[in-house]
Amino acid sequence: MSNAVFAQGISVDLMMMLETREQRSLTQRELFAKNRHASLLSATMNIPGPIKTSPILRNVFEEVMDVVRQHPSIQAAPILTTLYREKVTGPEYYMLLDLPAEVLKKAMIDIEQQHPWGRLLDLDVLYCESREADSLQFGREEASAIMTTEHIHSISRTDLNLPTRRCLICEEDAKVCGRSRTHSVEEMQAAIAELIENEREKVND
C-alpha cells in the first residue's frame, strides 16, 4: 500500500519547501488584509519525506476538509473567504471566518483527534494581533505591505492546555520524534499508508 500512496508523487527539495512556506505566509497576510478581525484556518498535509502529495493523499486531504466544512462551529460562523491550492509540495486550503480563534482551534483539534485521517493534516489557526494598518486608513495593498508575519500568530495546543500531537508510530511527542528523526521516512510512509488503508477497509465493509 505504501507504494500505491506515494508512487505517483513527485519528490520535492528543501528549496521548494522554503519557497512554498514563504508563499503561504504571503497568502496569509493577503487574506488578513481583507479582515484583520477574523480568524484564519490554514490547512496543509503533514507528510514526512520528499513526496508530499499524490492522488491518494489529495483524496485524503479533500475528505478531511469536507469534515471541516461540516463541523458545527464552522457551519454556524460567517465564512468570509476560502481558497484552495493544489501544489507539488502538497494541497493547501484557507478559510477566513468570523469565529473566535480559540473556538476554531478547539474544533480543528477535535477533527485532528477524532477523524482517522486527521493526524495526516495540520489544521493551523491564526489570528492577527496588530490592527494598526487597518484597510480603512490605508489602501489594501498598503495595509498588506505594512503587516508582517510578526503580526500574525498561531494558536497551539499548549496555548489551550491540551496535550501535544502523538507520533503515528510510537505515540510519543510527534515534534520530538521529528526533530530527532527517530523513525525513517520509509517507516513513516508505511505507517501513513496503513492508516489510510485501514480506514478505507472500514468504509468498504
- pLDDT single digits (tens) 52-93: 999 999 999 999 999 999 999 999 999 999 999 999 999 999
Residue 18 placed within a domain: yes
Q: pLDDT tens digits for 138-186?
A: 455 555 555 555 589 999 999 999 888 889 899 888 888 888 888 999 9
Residue 134 has pLDDT above 80, yes or no: no
Separation of CA 53 from chain center: 13
Q: How many independent structural domains does the chain possess?
A: 1
Cell of 174: 510527534
pLDDT of residue 129: 81
Residue 173 placed within a domain: no
Residue 27 belongs to domain spanning: 7-164
Residue 171 placed within a domain: no
Residue 160 placed within a domain: yes
pLDDT of residue 135: 46
Residue 185 placed within a domain: no
Cα separation of 115 and 88, whole Å?
Answer: 25
pLDDT of residue 57: 97
Residue 169 placed within a domain: no
pLDDT of residue 130: 58
Residue 170 placed within a domain: no
Q: Are 117 and 71 in contact (CB under 8 A)?
A: no
Q: What is the pTM of this model?
A: 0.86
Q: Are strands 79-85 and 121-128 parallel, antiparallel or unpaired?
A: unpaired
Residue 129 placed within a domain: yes
pLDDT of residue 115: 95
Please tell me the number of Cα atoms within 13 Å of 4 on its side-chain side.
8
3 state DSSP class of 81: strand
Percent of the chain surpassing pLDDT 90: 69
pLDDT of residue 164: 86
Q: pLDDT tens digits for 101-129?
A: 999 999 999 999 999 999 999 999 999 98
Residue 120's CATH number: 3.30.70
